[in-house]
Amino acid sequence: MGFGRCLGNYTVTEAKPWGIMDGSKLIVDRIFEMILIQTDSLEAAIMPFRKVQHIPREENTVTNSIAKMICDRKPGLRLFKDSLLRV
């Protein structure tokens, strides 16, 4: 499952924690047992989660694709099924 939200004008450092918080809320709502958060922001990775994995920006093509798709849409949280995440 993937998700995205158009926040408007924020810095990357401000936006990354928003994404992790949105994802955390989705995880809690669905009662997943295993949580892996992948991010290219070391600042966001410092947040207290079970496991956070740093992914270099150039290797994070799925996130970049979702971000580009979301910013063309109106504000609000969007969910994506696994099949839409394959880039």
Q: Let me know if residue 58 belongs to a domain.
A: yes
Q: Let me know if residue 12 belongs to a domain.
A: yes
Lowest mean pLDDT among 21-25, 43-47, 71-75: 43-47
Domain count, the chain: 1
The pTM assigned to this predicted structure is 0.42
Q: Let me know if residue 82 belongs to a domain.
A: no
Mean pLDDT of 35-55: 62
- pLDDT the model gives residue 35: 67
Token duo for residue 52: 């956070």
- pLDDT the model gives residue 85: 47
3-26, pLDDT tens digit by residue? Answer: 777 677 777 677 777 777 777 777
Full domain range(s) for residue 71: 2-77
